[in-house]
Amino acid sequence: MTDKTTKKTTKAKKAAAKPKLSAKEKTLTKKNEKLEENIEKLTDELVDQQLRVQAAEEKMLRVVAEYENGKKRVEREKERSLTFAKDRVLMGLFPIIDNLERSAQYEKDEADAEDSKKGITLVLDQIQKFLKDTDDVEAYDPTGEAFDPELHEAMAMQPSEDYESGIIIEVFEKGYKSGERVLRAAKVVVSQ
């Protein structure tokens, strides 16, 4: 190669490496670079906003879950309050039933003693049926059963030849249950 050919090749390489831009092209290149910077900045802002939206959605889901849990808790409390109120009414009836039962057992020397006893027995049966139908409340008489502090309240202990120790030999007041729940423990005498 000649010296002239080498110079032409070097100039061509320089021209290809860095093309000469016109003023308009330089302006467009600068605008393009600014637009690319803006795109990058906007992309970062978009990612930031997407993260904020995701965090807000998660927070909203937690708030909805807390609301639902609170709603269920209020419903349970309401149900529990109603149950306690109903129990209070029912427990107020028990002494009345006890007194009616005592009256039915009391024998009078009067001529109408039998009619009075039948009337009291009918009222007792009606109240017992009402309790059973209203809230599945039933009286229980644990005579002859083993003493259980969950179901019975010991009023006294008495020696007994007929029963082993810890067996209920007498019931002062019957107990009452609503299903499996004890509303009033039976008051009993337990053998020693």
Q: Are residues 120 and 142 in the same domain?
A: no
Domain limits for position 45: 26-135
Position 35 confidence tier, pLDDT thresholds 50, 70, 90: very high
State residue 7's pLDDT score.
Answer: 55
Please give the residue that has the higher pLDDT: either 97 or 56.
56
Mean pLDDT, the chain, as a whole number? 84
Say how far apart CA 187 and CA 162 lie, in whole Å. Answer: 20
Residues 114 and 103 in one domain: yes
Number of structural domains (the chain) is 2
- For residues 163 and 76, state if they share a domain: no
Q: 120 phi and psi, to 5 degrees?
A: -65, -40
Q: Does 56 fall in a domain? A: yes
- pTM of the full predicted structure? 0.49
**More confident of the two residues 137 and 11:** 137
Residue 115 within any structural domain of the chain: yes
- Residues 171, 142 contacting (CB under 8 angstroms): yes
DSSP H helix total and E strand total for the chain? 3, 6
Q: What is the pLDDT of residue 112?
A: 63
Of 103 and 28, which is predicted with more confidence?
A: 28
CATH code of 183's domain: 2.30.22.10
Q: Which CATH number does the domain housing residue 54 bear? A: 3.90.20
Given a cut of 70, whether residue 108 has pLDDT beyond it is no
Cα separation, 36 vs 79, whole angstroms = 64
pLDDT of 76 over the 90 cut: yes
Taking only the tens place, the pLDDT of each residue in 36-52 is 999 999 999 999 999 99
